[in-house]
Amino acid sequence: MRGCLLSRRTEQRLRQLAISTVGSVKIKLVLFLCIAFTLLALLSRGSGFTGRTSPSGPPDLLPFPRKGYAIVMNTWKRYDLLKQSISHYSLCPGLESIHIVWSEPDPPSNSLRKSLQHIVESNSRDGRQVELVFDINKEDSLNNRFKEIKDLKTDAIFSIDDDVIFPCSSVELAFNVWQSAPDTMVGFVPRAHWVDQSKGNNDYYIYGGWWSVWWSGTYSMVLSKAAFFHKKYFRIYTNEMPASIREYVTKNRNCEDIAMSFLVANATGAPPIWVKGKIFEIGSTGISSMGGHSERRTQCVNRFVAEFGRMPLVSTSAKAVDSRNIWFW
């Protein structure tokens, strides 16, 4: 009898041992599969980490058509930054021309012209010639960055400040996104607006900066300090935008970017498109860091709503990303 009990106990222990062994094997198998999957993923992306691609793999930059884009760069007495920006963007493959918006009281010096021209020519590759033009303005106004450019060869305009740099790969991605929706603004710096519920009505709006976008996950504007849009909006801004809005921008030295966002949204009835990109700000802090900046921008939004007779901005939560360079999308 005792022998039978020992035998049964031994059998039970052997079963438990077998079950635990099988469970351990399953766990190890799962871990092995996870490690194997990770190694395969790393190997498939290895060329991206080393900066090389296989002959059959995708190129570093998205393909672009022969008809590329023009950069319109706003600047003001920051010649070192201007040279640095021109040196960088003149290497971007889709670029066809650079227009420098010059609103200083004195014209650009010959030495500055020659220096920038030399930079552009030095960066030209494979017979590609980038045109460099100074657009001279008599009046100092932020509206100058949206003046119509005669005989512009490209439909696409990349509006950029002289102290903001994005990698060429990000610029080319944004250009490709813009080509899929050429009537829309496509940019890297999103901003938002919302109704001020404390006012007790739906007629007063608040301007929201980056942290508002981050918190809510929505936006309704992309700033023209780094954005693509169609050249036709220069003509509309200059000739059809209410003169009172342009005067307001000149007087307050602010909000020309909000005015352009209103104009495009009013024409399309659609939201802009935010493209994810790494931003490098090479200049000192600007007016956005000054006290009361958000309040002044809120005043602009409500002033422009009154001028347009309605709120044309459309909110969205969509964002364009390059899925080749991220793990999860």
Residues with a catalytic annotation lie at: 257
Written as six digits, the tokens of 202 are: 């739906």
Closest CA to 161 of 272, 249, 248, 285: 285
b/e 205-224 (16+ beta carbons within 10 angstroms → b): bbbbeeebbeeeebbbbbbb
Closest CA to 175 of 286, 97, 64, 284: 64
Closest CA to 145 of 74, 97, 240: 74
Question: In this structure, are residues 251 and 222 in contact, taking their beta carbons and an 8 Å threshold?
Answer: no
Helix, strand, coil share (%) of the chain residues, nearest 5? 45, 15, 35
Question: In this structure, are residues 281 and 188 in contact, taking their beta carbons and an 8 Å threshold?
Answer: no
